């Protein structure tokens, strides 16, 4: 198993084949933004409150 530290400190050639699926990333971020969304388009997530499920 590759650790996060190993990936972060690897030579570029070792991570050069990694790709980001931009559409999937954007959809995930937009889905996450719905949690704690505010009427003006921002996000407010308070920890340790009654809103924590």
Task: Answer whether residue 40 shows pLDDT above 90.
Answer: yes
Cβ atoms of residues 22 and 28 within 8 Å: no
Phi, psi (rounded to 5 degrees) for 4: -60, -40
Q: pTM (2 decimals)?
A: 0.50
Using a pLDDT cut of 90, give the percent of the chain over it.
28
3-state SS track over the chain = CCCHHHHHCCCHHHHCCCCCCHHHHHHHHHHHHCCCECCCCCECCCCCCCCCC
Segment 21-35, tens digit of pLDDT? 999 999 999 998 888
Give domain limits for the chain: 1-47
Residue 15: what pLDDT?
A: 62
Average pLDDT score, the chain: 81
């Amino acid at each position: 198993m590759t650790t996060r530290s190993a990936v972060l400190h690897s030579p570029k050639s070792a991570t050069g084949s990694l790709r980001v699926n931009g559409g999937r990333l954007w959809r995930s971020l937009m889905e996450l933004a719905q949690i704690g969304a505010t009427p003006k388009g921002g996000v407010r997530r308070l920890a340790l409150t009654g809103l924590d499920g």
